[in-house]
Amino acid sequence: MPDTPLPPKEKDNADASAQESHQPSPSAKTSVVTPVMAMALVIVALLVVLIAMKLKPSAADPRLPALLQQLEELKRQSGSLGLPTLGGGEQIEDVAERMKKDADSMVLLAGRYKQLIDETNASLVKKNADLLRSEQYRQMVSNDLDRVKSELQQAKSGGYEAESLRREVDKLKSLRDAQATELATMKQQLGAVGEQASKADLDALQRRLEETLRAKEFFESRAKELEGELGKARLFARSENELLPAAVKLFQTLRKLENQSQADIKNAYAQIETELNANVVQTLTFPTGSAKMAVADEAPVKHLVDNVPDGDMLLVIGYASETGNVDGNRTLSSDRATAVAEALSSVKHPGQQVQAVYLGQTDRFGSRTPESNQLCEIWQIHK
C-alpha cells in the first residue's frame, strides 16, 4: 500500500518530535560525565604510579609496559570522547617526560645530599681521631710530668737524707774525739794523784773512766753504722741527678727504650756498645716480690770486679714486672739494684766505681712472661 502524505502542519509537528528525540536528555548527560571523571582519576592514578616507580631506585618494574598500554588506551578513549588532553593541551608523553626529568633531578639532588652527608661524617670521624690522639698525647705528657715530679721529690728527699747523715756522722766523730780527750785527761789525773788520793776519789774516777769507755764504744759503733748508711746513700742514685757523670748518658738512653720492640731494643744495645763503650756483663733474676740475691749469684757477682780495669764503672740497673702497683715496683726495683751494688762495692778495687739506679716496672724483656722482667742488669762502662 503506498504511503499517504501528511498534512503540512502535522509534518512540522513530526519533524519537531524527531528533533527532540535526537537531543540528549539530562539523564543521558549525567551518564556520559561520570565515566569521564572516572577515566581522569585513573589517568592521575597511573601517573602517580609511574612517578613512584621512577623515584624508586630499583630495577624496572615488569608492570610498566602494561601500565603504559593502559595509559595509551585511556588517552585514545579520552580523545574519542572529545575530552582535552591532560595539562591543558599538553601531550601525555610530554608530561611523562617532564616528570621523568623532574624525577632524575630529584635523584641527582638526593645523591648530592648523600655525598655531602658522607663528607660530613668523614670529617667528623677525622676530628674524633684527632681529638683522641690529642687526649692520648696529653695523658702521656701528664704521666711524664708526674714521673719527673716524683723523681725530683725523691732526689730532694734523698739529698736531704744524705746531708743529714753526713751531719750526724760529723757530730758523732766530734763527740768521739771529745770522749777520747776526756779519757786521756782522766788517765793523766789518775797518774798524778797516785797514792795520795783517797779510795773514794779513786772509785769516782774509775766510774767516770768506765762510763767514758762505754760512751766511746757506743759513739764508735754508731759512727760506723751511719758511715755504712751514708755509703749506701751514695751507692744508690735516686734519680739521674745523683748519678756519676759516666753513667748519665747510658741511663738516659735505656730509659727511652720502654715500649719498644725486642728487635729495636737489641739494636739499641748494639749501638750503646759502639757509641757509649758500655755493655751488659751479667743479668740477675729475682723471685716475685723479692729483692734478695740468690746464693748461687753471690760468688759470680763478686768475681766480676777481677775483670774490671781500674777507672771503669759498674752500673746496676733494677727492674720489676708490671704486676702490682707502680710505687711498690719502684721500691722493689731499687732494692734489687742496691743489693747487687752492695755486693760489688764490698769487694771492688779502690780505682773502680759502683753505683745502683732503678728503672722501675717494665715489660721490655718479655710482655707475655712478667717474671722475665724481675731482674737487674750489671753494665760495665769503660773509661
For 40-53, write each residue's pLDDT tens digit: 666 666 666 666 65
Averaged pLDDT, 207-215: 74
Structure-model confidence comparison of residues 295 and 228, the more confident one: 295
Residue 261 lies in a domain: yes
Average pLDDT over residues 278-298: 95
Averaged pLDDT for residues 253-278: 94
pLDDT of residue 54: 56
Tell me the CA end-to-end span of the chain in Å, nearest whole number. 159
Question: Which of residues 323 and 97 earns the better pLDDT score?
Answer: 323
Instruction: For residue 155, tell me if it sits in a domain.
Output: no
Burial of 93 (0-12, 13-18, 19+ CB in 10 A): exposed
CA gap 236, 282 in Å, rounded: 19
Q: What is the pLDDT of residue 284?
A: 96
Nearest-angstrom CA–CA distance, 218 and 2:
177
- Quick check: is 320 in a domain? yes
Distance (Å, whole) CA 366 – CA 102: 67
The structure's pTM equals: 0.45
Residue 66 lies in a domain: no
Tens digits of per-residue pLDDT, 225-252? 665 555 555 688 888 888 989 999 999 9
Residue with cell 764490698: 346
User: In the prediction, which pLDDT does 288 show?
Assistant: 94
Amino acid 223: pLDDT: 64
- In contact, 345 and 353? CB cutoff 8 Å: no
Other CB atoms within a 10 A radius of the CB of residue 124 amount to: 10
Q: Please write the tens of the pLDDT for every residue from 70-124.
A: 767 776 766 666 555 544 455 656 767 777 777 778 888 888 878 888 888 887 8
Please tell me the predicted confidence (pLDDT) of residue 27: 40
CA–CA dist 315, 281 (Å, integer): 10
Nearest to 362 by CA among 299, 317, 312: 317
DSSP 236: B
CB 359 within 8 A of CB 329: no
CA 351-352-353 angle, to 5 degrees, is 125
Domain that holds residue 316: 240-383
CATH number at residue 357: 3.30.1330.60
Question: Has residue 81 been placed in a domain?
Answer: no
* 313 falls within a domain: yes
Identify the pLDDT of residue 82.
Answer: 58
**Residue 305 falls inside a structural domain:** yes
- What's the structural domain count of the chain? 1
Mean pLDDT, to the nearest integer, of 352-365?
A: 94
In a domain, 121, yes or no: no
Residue 288's contacts (CB-CB under 8 Å, 6 or more residues apart) are 321, 323, 371, 374
